[in-house]
Amino acid sequence: MLFDALRRDGFAFVTADVMQPLLQSCGDLSDWKAFADSWSMLGPDPYLAATGRLRRRRHATYRATPHGDVQAAPHQPHYQALRYNTLQGDIERWFEPIDAAIASGTSLRTILAFCNTFFSSLAPEVPQWHVEVHQFRIEASIDAAGEPTPEGSHRDGVDFVLVLLIDRHNIASGTTTIHTPGGTPLGDFTLTHPFDAALLHDPRVFHGVTAVTPLVPGEPAHRDVLVVTFRANAAGA
């Protein structure tokens, strides 16, 4: 069972044939095409300097009551402490907000509902969740591989993480690797089909993704994922 796997191992790889029905048990995916197409509207990541053109993203923040409502929060920066992100830690990073229609659309709301139910069941003591949603497009070219995790193997500094594959086009590799905090490998897998997913208990495991390269040189190549993080908040924070 997925619940037991995450509690036992600190991570789980969920194939699309399992993940999609789990999401649909929590809501509607009727706008999925528009949701997936919105990755083509992402702006460049301005914090990656010379390599920023290879990573595009948008960001949104929510607050959630366990097993209850998930509400949009005002647009705000994404912040990670340096101990979690040695490349871009200890700075407030402002990204373009997720398009309003996508942020309030049925697919994203269904994904958030699943996360809230599942993660709240794993941590029943949490009174309130701080939720962040990231749309990522990693691009690759014949001249430069795309780096899904330029900071290397890392933790996000949250409680739980969902990584959901939206699309991958003309790319090789992009393998997710899981390690203990001491560096011992725990597993690896590749998100290959839309709805393939990784679920992580962030305090227990480190994760990274290998670089992606084009299968056919000279043609567009990208890896699109949605990352959702849940971090416990004190009540009223």
The total of structural domains in the chain comes to 1
pLDDT score, position 205 = 96
Q: 101 or 148: whose pLDDT is higher?
A: 101
In Å, how far from its chain's centre is CA 27? 19
> Domain containing 183 — which CATH number?
2.60.120.620
Q: 190 or 143: whose pLDDT is higher?
A: 190
Collapse the DSSP code of 34 into the 3-class scheme (helix H, G, I; strand E, B; otherwise coil) and give the result: helix
Q: What percent of the chain has pLDDT over 90?
A: 73
Domain housing 177: 2-233
